[in-house]
Every structure is written in structure tokens, then in C-alpha cells.
Amino acid sequence: MIDRADYYAAKLAYETDASDVHAALKAGEDIVVIDVRSDEAWAQGRVAGAVHMHYSEIARRAPEEVPSDASVVVYCWSPGCNAGAKGAREFATLGYDVREMIGGFEYWVREGYPVEDADGVHRRPVDPLTGTARVRTRP
């Protein structure tokens, strides 16, 4: 039987969440965020600064576009979408250090993190059921 602590340590080695990804990006950590959704989904909005690479293209494109020593985070729409797992599997098969962002784009948006689309970068309101309201103070 596997030890519970070992199970959760292993799980955290393969998963991350929107809050941790945002904190890592804000801290300047060297991670590559990959959106594995369709072209239509990408056009509706994405994690600001993410790279678009549909999961079916990873085997072909990643070796040319993503450094082999990169720390990669992949995401899809939401907890109800398994494209993130498919993308993570493709990166792992190629030997990348990869984690899946659980909650996907849905929770990135619901937690109020920067979203990019054709109109630029903006934030949507924080959903009080998933994130905490951020109080902005003026100087």
C-alpha cells in the first residue's frame, strides 16, 4: 500500500493550480505556460503570455519551440476537460518537466488573473466562490 504522504507528494509533482502558476509568473520563475485548447477557445481568451499549442501538435512542435529543459505548465478549459492531461502526457513523453494546471482556464478567469484576447490583457471580476477579492489601494 502506498503511503498517503507519498501519494500527495507525487500528485503535487504533476499538478499545479491557477494560484501557484500566477505566483510563479509574478515571481519571474522560468516556466512556459501552454494552452492546449482549440483555435476557437484560444481566440476567446487565454492566460496572458501563454503559448498556444493544441495537444495534437505537441509531438511535432514542442521540440522546435519549447526548450527541452523548460518547466512546462499545460491547461485546457476546466476540470471537465481532459485536454490538459493529454497535453501533459505528450510533453512527458518527450521528456519535459511538465505539470497540468488543475481547474484550467475556467479557474484562472474565476480567480481574476490576467486574461489576454484580441482586445489586449485585462482581468475579469473575481468569483467569490473560487477566489478572494483583491483590494486595490491607491497611492
Q: How confident is the model at residue 133 (pLDDT cuts 50, 70, 90)?
A: low
Query: What are the CB-based long-range contacts (under 8 Å, 24+) for 7-14?
Result: 13/99, 14/88, 14/98, 14/99, 14/100
Q: Is 45 helix (H, G, I), strand (E, B) or coil?
A: coil
Q: Per CATH, which fold does 16-116 belong to?
A: Oxidized Rhodanese; domain 1 (3.40.250)
pLDDT digits (tens, 9 = 90+) for 14-51: 999 999 999 999 999 999 999 999 999 999 999 999 99
Q: State residue 116's pLDDT score.
A: 97
- DSSP assignment of 71-134: EEEEE-S-TT--HHHHHHHHHHHTT-EEEEEETHHHHHHHTT--EEETTEEE-PPPPTTTSPPP
Entry pTM: 0.90
Q: State residue 129's pLDDT score.
A: 87
**Region 83-109: what's the mean pLDDT?**
97
pLDDT at 3 over 50: yes
Angle at 108 between CA 112 and CA 83, to 5 degrees: 165
Q: How confident is the model at residue 135 (pLDDT cuts 50, 70, 90)?
A: very low
Q: How confident is the model at residue 100 (pLDDT cuts 50, 70, 90)?
A: very high
* Amino acid symbol at 36: V
